[in-house]
Structure 1
């Protein structure tokens, strides 16, 4: 249990800004095992957003409450995934070759493709959340953050890391079967918070995952840390859109 707690703290420290006690004798390779708890970190991020939403809704309009919930999740994660989305879109949009795309993604500056992708993603997230039934909205937030981080873990499990070095390099080893199944269970467990008739929203998540995974494979030959952030953002949006599609 102490090792599992250590791995969870590693995952929490990697993906959030929460102040945590220092991990003694840290080995970078441990981060690969900690990937099993990435969806659980998503659950906590989703819970934080849902809590801010519910509290804000007692005093503020729906639209403002949604923006505050988005702000809470962005602050909690340090814009980690949004930055990955912007960098990935810059690379895929501006690079003609694999080498060009990877070089652009490594540049800390944001380009036109990244800026537009980030702006549209935030607008689409806000609009989608605004149209989801308020009775299930907090639960949708939790499930979306968990499922989307599971989507990123599945990329790690299926593809190769394409950089010689980088923040995500310690994740690059293939996941063990145990880690993969733990991630799947933790990523899908929050779906139990939603009515069964909302579960088909996962189909759109699967479609987006397959499409973007194929694009990464064809354009880059694998993934980078930025690509994992982009996958998280795209599948989170896909989940919200799937929930909306079921309402019509």
Structure 2
């Protein structure tokens, strides 16, 4: 196998190891290896990790919808259990970032004080409320999409988990890392990612969108009551809603902190994921 593909696989597995609870251990972990440079390069596979997580959740949700009684409550049950599985797969990594950002920026207008709060492992009122509302938004928006079409709900899960992990790469690329780099869980990402890593992330994003559109065009299965062009427009609207959410978050971090922390990346992923579901729902 060419060295390029071996390096691609190693970087992907390292990203999987860093961003999820999916085990990459033992001899496989030894083969993958580790270095700060490798971990920075693996950030480009963050959307690829989303493709795997989103695919697992999409299959799990579709399976639940097939097994549950065909009632109005079935999409809500599937959305709640699928969201719980997503938290387990990622170890609440991004939800934790959202909580820390909400506590820090909600708890103090002073930059240094806000950064200090964000480093505190305890969860305050702002953080608890933010995570609760975020999970509520996810479940209800997914249930709404499931009411329209079960396959559409599954497709939304797959694409949203990729797209929402693409925009944080722009944050890393264009904003400086702030705070205590040495003690930060985002230390490997403190340096700007390379253009090659950014292109890798964008390729993962385009792949997920192309796969979804191809399945719809080939089978007409995802959105039975929509034309292919209608689904494409809805996906583009959802993509734009997610991009706008990223821009708002990036501007907020720049104004309040002068850059980003690892918690900011997790919070951005959560907000952009929900924005994608909302944009898709508003387009139907």
Give the alignment's TM-score, normalised by structure 1.
0.96
Q: Does structure 1 residue 42 correspond to structure 2 residue 50? A: yes
Q: Unaligned 5+ residue runs, structure 1? A: none
- Choose from 137, 141, 152 the match for 2:153: 137
* Superposed displacement of residue 58, structure 1: 2.1
Q: Which residue of 1 aligns with 2:251?
A: 214
Q: How do residues 189-228 of structure 1 correspond to structure 2 at under 5 angstroms?
A: 189-192=207-210, 193-194=212-213, 195-198=231-234, 199-228=236-265
Q: 2:88 aligns with which of 59, 63, 75?
A: 75
What whole-Å deviation, never above 9, does each CA across 1:22-67 have from its counterpart, x for those lacking one? 2455212311100111000001111111111011112222221111
- Spell out structure 1 runs of 4+ moving beyond 4 A: none
Computed over aligned residues only, the root mean square deviation of the Cα atoms, in angstroms, reads 1.2
Question: 1:23 & 1:177 partners in 2: Cα distance?
Answer: 27
2:29 matched to which residue of 1? Answer: 22
CA distance in 1 between counterparts of 2:237 and 2:191 reads 32
For residues 41-100 of structure 1, the C-alpha deviation after alignment (integer angstroms, 9 at most, x for no partner) is: 001111111111011112222221111111111100000000100111100100221111
TM-score (norm 2): 0.84
Q: Which runs of 5+ in 2 are unaligned?
A: 69-73, 214-230
SS at match of 2:18: helix
State how many pairs are aligned. Answer: 247
Any conservation in 2 of the 1:91–1:103 contact (CA below 8 Å)?
yes
